A = this chain, B = another copy of it.
Amino acid sequence: MAAAKTHHHGNLREALVEAGIALLSEGGPGALTLRKAAARAGVSHAAPAHHFDGLPGLLAEIALRGFEMFHAHLDQRCRAETSDDPFAQLMAANSAYVEFARCHRALFQLMFVEVEHSTPPLRLAAVRCYGVLQEKCRPLCGDRDPAAFESAVWALTHGYVALGMAEPRPNAPAQVPSYETLLRMLVRPEGEPAR
């Protein structure tokens, strides 16, 4: 708010990031442009240069924001899971993962493939997200190496999402099983809730 009628924007950095995310969610990747973001924030096309290191800088900043949103989403869905069954807890986190990717396609893709700057805060935000899944994996790990088990769950989840978004869908659309089925396959040996 505030920011009077001066040609100073107030806090442009923030506005540009939000404009970028909006563009991304409205028009997919490729709709995100320095100039369009600047226009949407109400400034001239060269203004962003004073706040980011060019387009890659803006992308990195948007990715950072994306990981923060991602973490918030994971966290919220985990808290919302009332059951204290370890599998239900893990499932809450991971279905939140899938849900976020579906709900923020372009942003998700940007976060995981299109960023090339990778500042320390960005890495940190990503690690925090990993931490959520890590925590939920622990109780189901059993006698396996925790790091390996976490990585497997993480890879399974991310791969499920990535393949689900890929355009030349390798497996026919109808026969793609639910995510839960896949996760159970990885966890089963220990938990045995079976049903």
Cross-interface CB contact of A127 among B123, B165, B170, B186, cutoff 8 Å: B170
- Least distance between A101 CB and chain B CB atoms (Å): 12
Question: Which residues of chain B have C-beta atoms less than 8 A from A167's C-beta?
Answer: 113, 115-118
Assuming the contacts A159-B159, A159-B162, A162-B162, asked whether A182 and B113 have C-beta atoms less than 8 A apart, the reply is no
**Interface secondary structure of A, over-half rule:** helix
Bound Cα distance from A160 to B152, whole angstroms: 8
- Least distance between A105 CB and chain B CB atoms (Å): 11
The stretch of A2-10, A19-27, A85-93, A142-150 in contact with B is A142-150
Cross-interface CB contact of A177 among B112, B113, B122, B151, cutoff 8 Å: B151
Assuming the contacts A113-B109, A188-B189, asked whether A171 and B158 have C-beta atoms less than 8 A apart, the reply is no
The B-contacting residues of A in range 157-187, CB under 8 angstroms, are 157-163, 165-172, 175-177, 181-182, 185-186
Bound Cα distance from A188 to B150, whole angstroms: 16
Question: Which residues of chain B have C-beta atoms less than 8 A from A169's C-beta?
Answer: 123, 126
Question: Which residues of chain B have C-beta atoms less than 8 A from A168's C-beta?
Answer: 63, 67, 111, 115, 118, 122-123, 125-126
Bound Cα distance from A128 to B157, whole angstroms: 23
Question: Which residues of chain B have C-beta atoms less than 8 A from A152's C-beta?
Answer: 156, 181-182, 185-186
Is A100 an interface residue when CB atoms closer than 8 A count as contact? no
B177 near A148 with CB under 8 A, answer yes
Question: Which residues of chain B have C-beta atoms less than 8 A from A109's C-beta?
Answer: 113
Assuming the contacts A144-B185, A145-B181, asked whether A158 and B151 have C-beta atoms less than 8 A apart, the reply is no
Bound Cα distance from A113 to B150, whole angstroms: 25
B127 near A177 with CB under 8 A, answer no
